Amino acid sequence: MPIQVDHDERREKIVNAAIRVLGERGFANFSLRAVSDRLGGSVTLVTHYFPSREALLVRMLELTLEDARSTQQELAAIEDPHDRLEAAVRYFLPIDEEALAIERARVALASHREVEPSIQQYLDLIDPVMRELIRAAIQDFIGRHRLEATVDLIRLWTSGVVLSTIEHPDLWTPERQTQALHHFMNLIDLPVAAR
């Protein structure tokens, strides 16, 4: 009897392994062979679903964008604007192992943006979606004249926490990130803008 394979599950495992390899080894050592080694299988296991490194990167991008859009819908369902803002900021923090692995992979990609044009294109597609997620979370707080500056502030703060956590994971524990998040929220506690 043939073995039943869940192809969606297999693709997901490959992408998760790719994220880990990219984050742990960096872009220079990111290959289909490295991903297959991580999975404990042959390269054909990976190439059956992703014929090239580029195809795997494209799928990683698609998943990132899908996750951000799904999160934006979840945020829209949060009625209290302060809770919505805190949930949006929390989304960007590498507060668990999966989020940390994703952020390590993103930083590994960003460090090669000048070498690989496709990486710059990848990052150029992601940033507007992430900014829109923040914008949607804070639009109840401020007028249009301060909206983009506040999006910039939140994006910079979360990026700083991400980089600090990648550099010093033992120091920037989930508990410390949560404390910093609460302090940040108190600092930017904006009144809900009149519409």
Distance CA 116, CA 189 (A): 40
**Cα-Cα end-to-end distance for the chain:** 64
Please tell me the predicted confidence (pLDDT) of residue 195. Answer: 40
Please tell me the predicted confidence (pLDDT) of residue 2. Answer: 64
pLDDT band at 56 (very low <50, low <70, confident <90, very high): very high
Please tell me the predicted confidence (pLDDT) of residue 188. Answer: 83
Domain 7-187 homologous superfamily, CATH: Tetracycline Repressor, domain 2 (1.10.357.10)
CB 32 within 8 A of CB 44: no
CB 166 within 8 A of CB 104: yes
pLDDT band at 194 (very low <50, low <70, confident <90, very high): very low
Question: What is the DSSP-derived secondary structure letter of residue 28?
Answer: G
- Percent of the chain, pLDDT > 70? 95
Average pLDDT over residues 42-56: 93
Please tell me the predicted confidence (pLDDT) of residue 48. Answer: 94
57 pLDDT higher than 80: yes
Tally the residues of the chain.
195
156 pLDDT higher than 90: yes
Q: State the pTM of this model.
A: 0.86
Please tell me the predicted confidence (pLDDT) of residue 189. Answer: 66
> Which of 179, 190, 119, 178 minimizes the C-alpha distance to 153?
190
Indicate the domain borders of the chain: 7-187
Please tell me the predicted confidence (pLDDT) of residue 167. Answer: 96
pLDDT digits (tens, 9 = 90+) for 86-137: 999 999 999 999 999 999 999 998 888 888 777 888 888 889 999 999 999 9
